[in-house]
Amino acid sequence: MHELSIAEAMLEQALAALRAAGGGRVVRLRVRVGELSGVDPDALAFAVPVAARGTEAEGAQLEVVRCPARVECEVCGATTAVEWPDVRCGHCGADRVRIVDGRQLRLESLDVETPAAALDGG
C-alpha cells in the first residue's frame, strides 16, 4: 500500500508548515486527489491516522477532494470528463486526447490549533 508512504510524506509537509508557523496541532488536512493519480482515496483515509500517530496531527480530520479526469480532444477541441480506462473525447468519440486534469495529488490546506499561550500573549 503506497498510500502509507504518501500519507507520511504529506504529514511531514504539514508538520513542517506547522513548526514554521510556531507550533500547535493540525486539526484538519484537505487533500486534492485526481482520479488518474494512482492513489486510492479510501486507502489514503486509512493511512493518514496511522501515519499521524504520536505527532501533532494525531486525530486530525482528513478531507479528500476527488478530482475527475478531463481530456482535451485534439480533433474537435472539446474538453470533457472521462472515466478511466475510457479516455476518448466525450463530445466526438476520438481517442486523440490530451489529459488536462485528474493527475493531481496535493496537500491543499491545513487547519491548525495554536497553543493557548500564543493566544493570550504568554
Query: How does pLDDT run across 92-122, given as a tens digit for each residue?
Result: 999 999 999 999 999 999 999 987 534 555 4
Single-letter residue type at 24:
G
Q: Which three cell numbers stand for residue 54?
A: 504520536
User: CATH class for domain 3-68+102-112?
Assistant: alpha beta
pLDDT average, residue stretch 81-101: 93
Distance CA 16, CA 78 (A): 41
Between helices 3-20 and 41-52, what is the axis angle to 10°? 50
Give 87 or 29, the one with higher predicted confidence: 29
Reading the block at residue 32, the C-alpha cell is: 486534492
pLDDT at 116: 58
- Beta bridge partners, 107, equal 31
pTM value? 0.81
**What are phi and psi for residue 87, nearest 5 degrees?**
-105, 45
- pLDDT (tens digit per residue) in 10-68: 999 999 999 998 899 999 999 999 999 999 999 999 999 999 999 999 999 999 999 99
pLDDT band at residue 84 using 50, 70 and 90 as cut-offs: confident
Contact (CB, 8 A) for 39 and 3: yes
pLDDT at 120: 53
